[in-house]
Homo-oligomer: A and B are copies of this chain.
Amino acid sequence: MKESLYSHISTVRKQAPLVQNITNYVVMNNTANALLAIGASPIMAHAHPEMAAMQKICNALVINIGTLDEYWVESMLIAATEANHNNKPWILDPVGAGATPYRDEVLSRLIELKPTAIRGNASEIQALAKLNKTQTKGVDSTSVSTEAVQAGQILNKTYGAIIVISGETDIIIDGDQQVKIHNGNALMTKITGMGCSATAILAAFIAVIPNKTEAAVAATALMSISGELAARYSNGPGSLQVNILDKLHSIKEQEFEETLKISI
């Protein structure tokens, strides 16, 4: 697997998948820019009358509940249902799972529609699996990713979704496979929406890479390695946000391979 990861990055650049995003207001600009930087094509849309048509033209769908409300929840349910009808992959980002009963109720309806993959931090994955034993603190994680492995395995087994747990160590769970990526930089937690960008990138990779486990690993590695490399010449979270976009666009095979720390 390790040898083919960079080739998947090249494939995304070549195939330029169209990713529809129903995501939160906070991150939309950065998410669109992250998708453009990796060579994908973003579209943000949520109007009920165009959800079915969008699922026909897009190659993957992101559903991120960060700033949900009743109208947007309905958009999400329509879009996920239509994605399933059209055999398009869709990725769930359960932002703030466990923070309020409303979020949990919405997530329980979305997860029944069987997302292709789920990406969240440890707290969110634990909340989603109803295994959360610590108090969730808004949208930031209060657990480390390794604590959420059991939760991720339950979710994978129950719903069939590939699980990506973001953290100091990123963990990808799919059936018996468990891959860990030890890249990234702590300063990334001081930028909003890094996880949301990771989810959108995951969608782009799953859209065009036939081996979906490898797609998830390549997408996750690309994000974490870009953050790690960009942090080397950033003065703080503001410049890191900018430099990650530059690096997502310019990253080359040699620096990717040399930086990658992976356990399979």
Query: Distance (Å) between the CB of A119 and the closest chain B CB?
Result: 19
- Asked whether any CB of chain B lies closer than 8 Å to the CB of A101, the reply is yes
Binary per-residue interface labels of chain A (49-90) against chain B in the complex, 1 for a CB within 8 Å, 0 otherwise? 110011001100000001111110000000000000000000
Neighbouring B residues of A24 by C-beta, 8 Å: 44
B25, B47, B244: the one contacting A68 at CB < 8 Å is B47
Q: How many copies does the complex hold?
A: 3
Contact residues on A (Cβ < 8 Å of other chain), bracket: 35 or more
Neighbouring B residues of A136 by C-beta, 8 Å: 57
- Asked whether any CB of chain B lies closer than 8 Å to the CB of A192, the reply is yes
Contacts from A to B (Cβ < 8 Å):
18, 20, 24-30, 32-33, 36-37, 41-50, 53-54, 57-58, 66-71, 96, 99-103, 136-140, 189-193, 234-239, 241-250
Knowing that A18-B137, A45-B100, A57-B137 touch, tell me 14 more A-B residue pairs with CB under 8 angstroms: A26-B32, A29-B30, A29-B192, A33-B241, A36-B191, A43-B138, A45-B67, A48-B70, A237-B246, A238-B244, A238-B245, A239-B243, A239-B246, A241-B245
